[in-house]
Chains A and B, each alone.
Chain A
Amino acid sequence: MSRFTVEVLVTPRPGLLDPQGKAIHHALSSLGYDAVDDVRVGKAIYLEVSAATSQAAAERVEEMCRKLLANPVTEDFRVTAAATGAGS
């Protein structure tokens, strides 16, 4: 077994009203950042997971996303697993 750092990005589904994103977009516009066309706010969750391979770690966490970490009605998720300590 190896240790993997798994990053989960949970984002509001496309088309869903995202009032936080709208508020931030508005703030950026008032700071003069006119090039921003859209802002959406999600959350990042980091898990330290023991698994045989990074793929096994990712699959395990995808299952957790379907069950708990994301709400399928309103959120999408993306999972990335990397050996802990690698590439940081």
Chain B
Amino acid sequence: MNVAVITFPGSNCDQDCVRSVELAGGSARYVWHREVSLGDSDAVIVPGGFAHGDYLRPGAIARFSPIMDAVIDFGRGGGLVVGICNGFQVLCEAGLLPGALLRNRSLRFQSHDCFMRVERSDTPYTGDYRVGQVIGMPLSHADGNYYADPDTLAALEAEGRVVFRYCDADGAVTQDANPNGSLNNIAGIANARGNVLGMMPHPDRAIEAVLGSLDGLPLFTSLVGALARAEVA
């Protein structure tokens, strides 16, 4: 089992993601953005950071990095692809996920802990969480304000594709708990098939007690577990 973590110029969470996979019992390696093949990778993580300096729009230039054709093919073919923070922005720009991440409602770079409610536990990324579980982890972004047109938003909700929603410590989904103005407090979504996930908060920064939270680790143990089951099957 091998998880590819894509490194763009400006990525700064690629090491966090490799460590997260390893702590979850899997193995991961870095794939430089100029490579054109994912090799024998079984899953892909597009990490956080500021790929290509966020110039033009976050993710807009990264989306055309050479490796992205392979990532898009892999995701469209049902391969497991998760984008975290800047990676979420890249996956939206690449068309693997619908919608876009706009500038935060506050116009400020938001960098603090947040709570999210787990809405789905039947994805390859959330099997080790419970539906309704409130999890806490850091977020760190200027452009995390999830937007989709009304039809797309309605489809996301109807199809149960909102995986994480910003909430308060008690799990209440309120505007006060919405850090960036995201529609319907959306913190993370999946594609229709459920194999591609994008989220703004950082599970990769909540994987060890010393970081203040372990709530991100189940995302990676879920992923590693899903890959292990696929290998057996």
Measured CB to CB, the residues of A under 8 A from B are 16-17, 19-20, 23, 68-69, 71, 73-74
Contacts and interface: CB of A to CB of B under 8 A. Distances in A.
Give 6 nearest A-B pairs by CB, closest first.
A73-B100, A74-B100, A19-B107, A19-B105, A71-B100, A19-B103
Contacts of A69: 56
Nearest to A73: B100
Contacts of A23: 107
Contacts of A74: 100, 102, 147
Contact of A19 (B56, B92, B106): B106
A8 to B, nearest CB: 11
A71 B60 contact: yes
A68 B148 CA distance: 19
Interface of B: 56-57, 60-61, 64, 92-93, 98-100, 102-107, 145, 147-149, 181
Given A19-B103, A71-B60, A74-B102, 5 more contacts: A17-B105, A69-B56, A71-B100, A73-B98, A73-B148
22 contacts: A17-B102, A17-B147, A17-B181, A19-B103, A19-B104, A19-B107, A20-B103, A20-B107, A23-B107, A68-B56, A68-B60, A68-B61, A68-B64, A71-B57, A71-B60, A71-B93, A73-B98, A73-B100, A73-B147, A73-B149, A74-B100, A74-B147
Nearest to A68: B60
B60 A73 contact: no
A74 B146 CA distance: 11
Which of A16, A20, A71 is packed against the most chain B CB atoms within 10 Å?
Answer: A71
A73 B64 contact: no
A19 B104 CA distance: 8
A49 to B, nearest CB: 18
B102 A16 contact: yes
A71 B102 CA distance: 11
A24 B107 CA distance: 12
A16 B105 contact: no
Nearest to A72: B100
A71 B90 CA distance: 12
A17 B92 CA distance: 19
Contacts of A73: 92, 98-100, 147-149
Which of A17, A23, A69 is packed against the most chain B CB atoms within 10 Å?
Answer: A17
A53 B64 CA distance: 28
